[in-house]
Amino acid sequence: MSVVPGGDALVVAAGSGEVVAGLTATWLRVKGSARTRAAYLRDLRHWVAHCGSVGVDPLVARTADVDGWIVAQRVDGSRGRAPAAESTIARRVAAVSSWYDYLVAGTADDPVPLVVRNPAARAARPRVDPEYTPTVGLTAEEVGRLLVAADGDGATGSALVRLVFTAGLRVGSALTARVEDLGWDQGHRTLEVAVKGGRRSRVPLPPAAADAVARMLAERGDPAGGPLFVTGSGRPVYHMFVYRLVKRLAERAGIAAAQRLTPHGLRHTAITLYLEQTNGNVRGAQLYAGHARPETTMRYDRARRGLADHGAYVLAARFG
């Protein structure tokens, strides 16, 4: 089986190619947001490409073949790239396992099932510590410097950084927002955004963020519609643009962890600082962050206290 570029679906060249492509397209459609579908498809293509490189038909792959893929990713990322992080490997295997489950269930009643077992179900996928995150956060003082740098960078950078931070948004939610999603509700300036799971949410824009957005749109002649954030050339702002923007602003602000700071670090910081400002109000933080489960928010609270209360400081106070 080989992958052929096919938009939002996996098109395969094999005896059962049309069936696989159809089931895969349906499997993707139920995954929620376009970004989630793209991530699942990217992980699946990684697996299928690996199968092609080692001469394995994915429809008859064994658990040992999936384990071989895992090992290959740890060695060279499979296909000559840098070794993949354990969390990345675990995510890829989970996506592939979901795909196999769908194929098994979708053809179980056929005279000849397409796939009879899920080879990824028992694979030796990495165990990822749910309490650990590589995301770097900022102090309140560092956030202040970053916002000053953003304001000095231009209207788009100012509006984007202030919106993502103050509203605690995922970058994808900000980048898919449109001008017509701005509104008013109970006296609040609001923005309708797409959130995880394909849902819609209305978030308030505090005065500083609302003013930054207004300045940005005024520079563009106050358009009535279209993407909320666009580049200087008029194209919608994309993820790599935001990654570069955040790193550039962090360096300008003199933030020590500038090279490791990511756009998600702004959301991470926002949730953490909310917990600090509210003395650990986990329920409020859960609503602010839009987390479906309080356990997700608790991880931010534990991470917040984990460094400040670390035993290393206790011993250092005694022994220097």
Backbone φ and ψ of 240, nearest 5°: -65, -35
End-to-end alpha carbon distance in the chain? 62
Structure tokens at 245: 């923007």
pLDDT in tens, 153-189: 999 999 999 999 999 999 999 999 999 999 999 999 9
* Encoded amino acid at 4, one letter: V
Backbone φ and ψ of 172, nearest 5°: -60, -35
- Which domains, ranges and CATH numbers included, belong to the chain? 3-107 (no CATH), 140-314 (1.10.443.10)
pLDDT in tens, 134-157: 678 899 999 999 999 999 999 999
- What number is the average pLDDT over the span 192-197? 84
